[in-house]
Amino acid sequence: MITVVTSITGGKDGLLDKQNKGKATFRSFVDETQYGKTWEIDKAYDKFKDNRRNSRIHKMLIHQYVDTEYSIWIDGNIVLLKSPEELIKTYLKDYDIAVFKHPTRDCLYDEAIECAKKGLDDPEVIIEQVKKYEDEGYAKHKGLAECSVILRRHTPKVEAFNNAWWSEYCKHSKRDQISFMYALDKVGLRVNLINEHFINYEGRFIRGEGILEIIPHAKQTTKDQ
């Protein structure tokens, strides 16, 4: 069985119902009243002052919220055009985790520089984080994921990765892509970096050949870029 999970906080998105559900369960965690025929709706985590961090606990510690063999995390502005079963069969295969490759960068250090330049988080926090990784010998250009969609096989090793990623996230920047590859490397998961990018198809942003669609955020700020 497969559970598809999203979390929406701070009014950033509205629940998107037009999903290709297949036979999966769709579960959402929200901090404001929302309605959706596709989604089971639960209250989002609310202990952080930052809305972004409140949404990320469901993304990273997903094993604490689902008990199925597989899960698919999707950001609140993602619509699945192919069924969860097809995505798992096509992209997870013999891997522990599958995630789309970042379209323009292949290095967490480059990602950190970009986040700092755009003011997406406190530059001092970002610099301290990547200095730690550099001091530990984490190499440049080891790949970079775009973490809006994450396919997982729920195993003890994947759970260890989830916990490691969450630990890094809580200690460092709220830009989760910076710590994702580092945590993967620490745990040693078999990861599929999927090389399928978005294309503009008649004004719609479609990933690959009809895998999924990205919808503009309902509430857009410069810090969401």
Numbers of helices and strands, H then E, in the chain: 6, 11
List, for residues 101-141, the tens digit of each pLDDT value: 999 999 999 999 999 999 999 999 999 999 999 999 999 99
Residue 218, pLDDT > 90, answer: no
- Once rounded to an integer, what is the mean pLDDT over residues 168-181? 97
- Once rounded to an integer, what is the mean pLDDT over residues 207-218? 90
Residue 200, pLDDT > 90, answer: no
- Once rounded to an integer, what is the mean pLDDT over residues 8-28? 94
Pick left, alpha or beta for residue 216 (phi over 0 → left; psi -120 to 50 → alpha; otherwise beta).
beta
CA-based torsion, 29, 103, 168, 149: positive or negative? positive
User: Model confidence at 184, in pLDDT bands (50, 70, 90)?
Assistant: very high
User: Model confidence at 220, in pLDDT bands (50, 70, 90)?
Assistant: low
Domain 2-105+142-218 has CATH 3.40.430.10: no
Q: What is the pTM of this model?
A: 0.93
Domain boundaries, the chain: 2-105+142-218
